[in-house]
Amino acid sequence: MLVKGVVFYLESDLPAEAKFLFEDFRLAVNNAIRAGLQARVTSRNALNKLAYKDFRREHPRMYSQHLVSAFEVAGSVLKNHRRRIRNGKGNHVPYVRRLFMKAENQAYKLNRKSGIIDLPIRAGCHVELKLVVSQYHRKYLDDTALSLGSLTVLLDRVIVAFRKDAPMPFVPESALSLDTNERSLDGLFVEGDVAKAVKAHFPEVAIIQQLHHDRRRRLQKKKAFDRRISRKLCKREGAREHRRIDYRLHQVADSVLKFADERKSAIVLEDLRGFKSKRSKELNRRLSLRPRRKLHRIIEYKAQWKGIPVIKVDPRNSSRTCPICRRIQYSRMGAEFKCECGWHLDRHINASINLLQTAISKGMAGGLRFNPGAFQHDVMMILYEPAMAARSEPNGTSGIVGAT
């Protein structure tokens, strides 16, 4: 089952009754967290047994379905807490501060035509939330293949989970093999006897990373006397950085998937799991793998939703192997891969040829064939470029891009 959370803003302020419900919900979550910590349990059912009766007695009017989902939220908070402790990262007692609530799909009604949510507060008291519905939202509301999952209500917006069974991936008629780099995806598109170079170029991602890194460093220096403030500001910087980068990664992924969908291509990517660069800390930060891993996650997730096959292959030696004679190059190389046998090609595109050949030799690419001789050296198809961004950011990143 695939789940996609879609954000809707509310047409008017949240009714006061709903705000009271938020406070009760938060109290129930925090009570259950405390009880769970004491009893060392994290499952929803165990928390239910522990905390239900007491809370019920104190808040006899709260809708019991909401209480159950409060225990579910508490359970996931406790699981995260347990994971953090296991990884040795902080051990303060978890506590939910934010006002919100979550309702399971039985506990609310959404009229998919009118965009009105009927949310029960307690016996005999319901509130109506009118959602702002755009064309984007219509796509989800009108798709009958999607069923409704949980509802998360925040002070100014709601998140509706839409669910569907994963569609069967199509049988590929072509392949799009991509080598993932800091500033681009480089690879080739193979259809029949023709192979062309492709590129999705996202230089801003590395620029944004650099900018926020510098800013964090400055903050740390300036607020060195107060570690708490410094940490808080850095965390905020980090969140902004991730938002700005992820926004671009989504656009890159959308372009790649649109291309693959139109040409019925299987997407071949390197498996970045367990991939660690053996560089110094300084270089590690610069070449942070996070955006690349995230890009893969986005591509894989969206491909699954659309039924586009994605093949992950072991990237070992993919950038050093000659696809013609299979010799492995151990010396350092520049932008171009050169082999004794005479083969030479852009290093990244060469790597993508090897990824595709690995996929084919392992039988992962169905009936697809590829012959490196079919590669057309003079053509480059652009899948994505920063200029293709549908809209620019309000805070003017374009200026930064232009400055470098």
333 binds Zn ion (CB under 5 A): no
- Which of 190, 329, 373 lies closest to 268, judged by CA? 190
341 binds Zn ion (CB under 5 A): yes
33 binds Zn ion (CB under 5 A): no
Between residues 157 and 320, which has the closer beta carbon with respect to Zn ion?
Answer: 320
CA dihedral 206, 210, 216, 222 (to 10 degrees): -170
- Which of 124, 127, 164, 143 lies closest to 19, judged by CA? 127
Q: Among 324, 381, 400, 401, indicate the residue that binds Zn ion (CB under 5 A).
A: 324
Between residues 176 and 345, which has the closer beta carbon with respect to Zn ion?
Answer: 345
> How many residues belong to the site for Zn ion (CB under 5 A)?
7
To Zn ion, the closest distance from the beta carbon of 373 in angstroms equals 13
To Zn ion, the closest distance from the beta carbon of 338 in angstroms equals 9
To Zn ion, the closest distance from the beta carbon of 321 in angstroms equals 9
CA 380 to chain centroid, in Å, comes to: 28
Within positions 126 to 155, which residues make up the interface with Zn ion, using CB under 5 A?
none
From the list 82-90, 207-215, 343-351, 386-394, the region that binds Zn ion by CB under 5 A is 343-351
H/E stretch holding 175 reads: strand 174-180
From the list 63-71, 94-102, 228-236, 342-350, the region that binds Zn ion by CB under 5 A is 342-350
Q: How far apart are CA 370 and CA 180, in angstroms?
A: 20
339 binds Zn ion (CB under 5 A): yes
- Which of 325, 335, 337 lies closest to 373, judged by CA? 325
From the list 148-156, 192-200, 275-283, 324-332, the region that binds Zn ion by CB under 5 A is 324-332
Residue 60 is classified by DSSP as T
123 binds Zn ion (CB under 5 A): no
343 binds Zn ion (CB under 5 A): yes
CB distance 104 to 153 below 8 Å: no
Q: Among 325, 379, 387, 388, indicate the residue that binds Zn ion (CB under 5 A).
A: 325
Q: What are phi and psi of 128, to 5 degrees?
A: -110, 130
Asked whether the CA dihedral 120, 124, 125, 127 is positive or negative, the reply is: positive
CA 105 to chain centroid, in Å, comes to: 24
CB distance 84 to 91 below 8 Å: yes
Q: Among 96, 245, 322, 359, indicate the residue that binds Zn ion (CB under 5 A).
A: 322
Contacts with Zn ion, residue ranges (CB under 5 A): 322, 324-325, 327, 339, 341, 343
